Amino acid sequence: EVGMLIITFPDELAPGDVLVRTTLSTICGTDIHTIEAPDGIGVPLGHEAVGIVEAVGPGVHKLARGDRIVASCLYVCGECDRCLEGEGAICETFRQGPPGPLLMGLQGERYILHAADTTAAKVPDNIADEQAIFTADVLSIGMATLERAGIRTGDSVAVFGQGPVGLSVVASARALGAGLVMGVDSVEYRQLISRQLGADAVFAAGEGVARVKDATGGRGADIVVDAVGGNVAVFQDACRASRDGGVVSTVLGIQAPPPDVPLIQRTLVATLCPFGTRRLERLMAMLGSGRIDLSPLITHRIPLADAPAGYAMFRERREGVVKILLTP
């Protein structure tokens, strides 16, 4: 059940913290997983938002009161070995202790952001909240599935699952210079959005493997992305749709390869969304150039007070929902 949670903030901010007034947030599949988890009751929801800095704690040097910012959906310290190697997704500081690594509570009027200098970035004036919000999560991971797969100009790419992440992969594939881009999903309105974002063809899930093979002359795609994650059948299909020597990239990874999956001479890549200030700045540069426009993902916009109804719609996939924007 989704309900109101009252949170009080301290009189003084801790070092590295900023207080942010939320101007726009959105519902993610991870929020659904949170409320369905045994310990999910009472957890403040939301990890994708744009907001205005209202107060700055000691030790914050890059942000000031009045700045419009977007924050990565996981905290990044910017100082550990992994962060210095550019692997903020596996930041050693926040993966091992509080307060993270996942930001929570952004579907509210205000929130406190820790490690603000390394986790958030200012939003340029030429980028609207409705575009910047995607850099917090889905655009970053969508693009990363291809970056970590080593995408090359002209590669054929097949994306199994055309939810918000899968659609972001399609748009990223087109922006990164892929040749043939294929989506696989049986939901008709998602198929339409996939074509809007650059898919050359979209196939129904049940026939995805065969159709991808046919479209690639029987070889299979150079890169196949499992944008569903955690579904063994989808992962199996993604492997079967990949060519010999190709790459299978999954957004969440798997514990062990399931049986009857062709893994000979293939590369498996599991990706957790990259985070941090520099990542956000790079993604917003892509948005500012016009090379990516994820606005077709926005299907609904409702007041924050109506969030429970939005959650029901999102969970049940009603009314053509893809992304719901919440306005305080």
Give the 3-state secondary structure of residue 65. Answer: coil
Vertex 16: Cα angle to 11 and 22 (nearest 5) = 70
* Cβ contact 68:51 at 8 Å: yes
Structure tokens at 227: 């944008």
| Chain centroid, CA 214 distance in Å | 30
Q: CB pairs under 8 A, 24+ apart, for 286-292? A: 286/175, 287/127, 287/131, 287/132, 287/134, 287/135, 288/124, 288/126, 288/127, 291/175, 292/139, 292/171, 292/172, 292/175
Q: pTM of the full predicted structure?
A: 0.91
Q: Give me the residues of the chain with pLDDT under 70, please.
A: 1-8, 39-41, 97-100, 252-265
Positive or negative, the CA dihedral 5, 316, 203, 209 is positive
Please list, in sequence order, all residues whose beta carbon lies within 8 angstroms of the beta carbon of residue 292, skipping any fewer than 6 positions away. 139, 171, 172, 175, 286
Residue 260 has a pLDDT of 66
Residue 32 has a pLDDT of 84
Residue 22 has a pLDDT of 96
Residue 221 has a pLDDT of 98
Q: Running DSSP on this structure, what letter comes out for residue 74? A: B
Residue 40 has a pLDDT of 61
Give the 3-state secondary structure of residue 49. Answer: strand
pLDDT, tens only, 191-226? 999 999 999 999 999 999 999 999 999 999 999 999
Residue 266 has a pLDDT of 72
